[in-house]
């Protein structure tokens, strides 16, 4: 029987493959890397009578075989994981012996997620997520919003599940994502990664208490749209620029006031633009044509959709 000491070993540490219940009168031991015991996988051997160690083609310089048949592997790497075979030859039997097999696993390192694009445009760009590092003899799992991945044509896993492809990223598939690496002896999960989705402008809305106001009231107007990054706002009252803010308080109006509040929105990342207006009226005749002409000429917005 073979056991590893320590039973949990991480990359860069040493591990001892300790052999128990050796047969009587052994003449030597041969260690192989892999399940096939041929010359190409021959690591090292120990000849008992001569107290001699012989190195084979698979020897890396980090393996030491002892007289009790145990094998020390120093500074282990991911390439050291997998099957090991020891062939124990017995006295008087040079062609046959006892063969034992053991599979070495390392503790899974904490993975991290790399992305081909952390700032995709909504519904137009494909993103490739990778779970790093590439760990041998391990399986990969993915999570979105703390749950396992749903079955969706917009999500595609590679053959070994290490890579996740996101087609046409939306708000629902932007994350957060986590990946988990599992081996027979341990598992580890990455920190969450959320894509910085670029989108907008969505259809804007303008809210206010009323269209018609009484003398002395302070109209409160707000201009809203769903956009990332946040939309840049330019506000005009009667063709004059005001402070740029989503919420704007007009001064007390008089009974002779007639005007229009115009909000111009621009997303610098998507180049999206939108315009929305709100009429503020105290009963009386109101002709907005002059104001509209000032606005369109100022921003050269001919052809844009205006939402009244």
Q: What is the pLDDT of residue 211?
A: 60
**Per-residue confidence band for 39, with pLDDT thresholds at 50, 70 and 90:** very high
Greater pLDDT, 173 or 264 = 173
CB half-sphere exposure, 88, CA atoms < 13 A:
21
Percentage of the residues of the chain whose pLDDT score is greater than 70: 79
Q: pLDDT tens across 252-301, in order?
A: 666 666 677 788 888 888 888 888 877 776 654 444 444 444 444 544 44
Q: Which token pair is 8?
A: 């949990």
For the chain, give the secondary structure using H, E and C: CEEEECCCCCCCCCEEEEECCCCCCEEEEEEEECCCCCHHHEEEEEECCCCEEEECCCCCCCEEECCCCCEEECCCCHHHCEEEEEEEEECCEEEEEEEEEEEECCCCCCCEEEECCCCCECCCCCEEEEEECCCCCCEEEEEECCEECCCCCCEEECCCCCEEEECCCCCCCCCCEEEEEECCCCEEECCCECCCCEECCCCCEEEECCCECCCCCCCEEEEECCCECCCEEEEEECCEECCCCCEEECCCCCCCCEEEEEEEEEECCCCEEEEEEEEEECCCCCCCHHHHHHHHHHHCCCCCCEEC
Greater pLDDT, 271 or 20 = 20
Q: Which residues contact 60 (CB under 8 A, 6 or more apart)?
A: none
pTM over 0.75: no
Q: What is the pLDDT of residue 304?
A: 45
Q: What is the pLDDT of residue 214?
A: 66
Q: What is the pLDDT of residue 104?
A: 92
Q: pLDDT tens across 43-72, in order?
A: 999 999 999 999 999 999 999 999 999 999
Greater pLDDT, 304 or 85 = 85
Q: pLDDT tens across 141-154, in order?
A: 999 999 999 999 99
d(CA 17, CA 215): 91
Q: Name the least confident of 81-85, 255-259, 301-305.
A: 301-305
Greater pLDDT, 206 or 101 = 101
Q: pLDDT tens across 88-138, in order?
A: 988 766 555 678 899 999 889 899 999 999 999 999 999 999 999 998 889
Greater pLDDT, 261 or 243 = 261
Q: Which residues contact 142 (CB under 8 A, 6 or more apart)?
A: 129, 131, 148, 149, 157, 161, 164, 177, 178, 179, 180
d(CA 103, CA 17): 10
Question: Ranked by mean pLDDT, which of 25-29, 157-161, 221-225 comes out on top?
Answer: 157-161
Q: What is the pLDDT of residue 96?
A: 58
CA distances from 204 to 99, 196, 201, 250, 283 (A): 75, 21, 8, 20, 27
Mean pLDDT of 166-176: 96
Peptide bond into 201 cis (omega under 30): yes
d(CA 48, CA 91): 10
Q: Which domains does the chain have, with CATH numbers?
A: 2-104 (2.60.40.10), 112-189 (2.60.40.10), 205-307 (2.60.40.10)
Q: What is the pLDDT of residue 305?
A: 43
Q: What is the pLDDT of residue 262?
A: 82
Tally of residues, the chain:
308
Q: Which residues contact 271 (CB under 8 A, 6 or more apart)?
A: none
Q: What is the pLDDT of residue 170?
A: 95
Q: What is the largest CA-CA distance in the chain?
A: 119
Q: What is the pLDDT of residue 245?
A: 64
d(CA 281, CA 260): 8
Strands 247-249, 177-182: parallel, antiparallel or unpaired by DSSP? Answer: unpaired
Angle at 199 between CA 195 and CA 203, to 5 degrees: 145
Mean pLDDT of 2-24: 92
Q: What is the pLDDT of residue 273?
A: 86
Q: What is the pLDDT of residue 239?
A: 73
d(CA 164, CA 177): 10
Q: What is the pLDDT of residue 260?
A: 77
């Amino acid at each position: 029987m073979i056991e590893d000491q320590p039973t949990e070993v991480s990359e860069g540490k040493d591990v001892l493959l300790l052999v128990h219940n050796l047969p009587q009168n052994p003449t030597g031991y041969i260690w192989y890397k892999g399940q096939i015991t041929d010359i190409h996988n021959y690591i090292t051997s120990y000849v008992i009578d001569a107290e001699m160690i012989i190195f084979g083609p698979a020897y890396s310089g980090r393996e030491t075989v002892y007289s009790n048949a145990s094998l020390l592997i120093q500074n282990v790497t991911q390439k050291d994981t997998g099957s090991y075979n020891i062939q124990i030859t017995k006295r008087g039997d040079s062609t046959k012996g006892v063969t034992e097999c053991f599979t070495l696993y390392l503790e899974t390192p904490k993975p991290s997620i790399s992305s081909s694009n952390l700032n995709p445009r909504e519904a137009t760009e494909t993103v490739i997520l990778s779970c790093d590092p590439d760990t041998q003899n391990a399986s990969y799992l993915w999570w979105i919003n703390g749950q396992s991945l749903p079955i969706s044509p917009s999500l595609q896993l590679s053959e070994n599940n290490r890579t996740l492809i996101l087609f046409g990223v939306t708000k629902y598939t932007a994350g957060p994502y986590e990946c988990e690496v599992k081996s027979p002896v341990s598992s580890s999960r990455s920190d969450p990664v959320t894509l910085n989705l670029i989108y907008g402008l969505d259809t804007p809305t303008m809210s206010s208490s009323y269209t018609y106001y009484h003398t002395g009231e302070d109209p409160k107007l707000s201009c809203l749209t769903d956009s990332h990054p946040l939309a840049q706002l330019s506000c005009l009252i009667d063709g004059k620029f005001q402070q740029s803010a989503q919420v704007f308080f007009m001064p007390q109006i008089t009974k002779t006031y007639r005007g229009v509040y115009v909000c111009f929105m621009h997303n610098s990342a998507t180049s999206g633009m939108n315009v929305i207006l709100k009429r503020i009226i105290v009963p009386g005749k109101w002709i907005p044509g002059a104001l509209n002409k000032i606005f369109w000429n100022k921003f050269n917005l001919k052809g844009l959709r205006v939402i009244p």
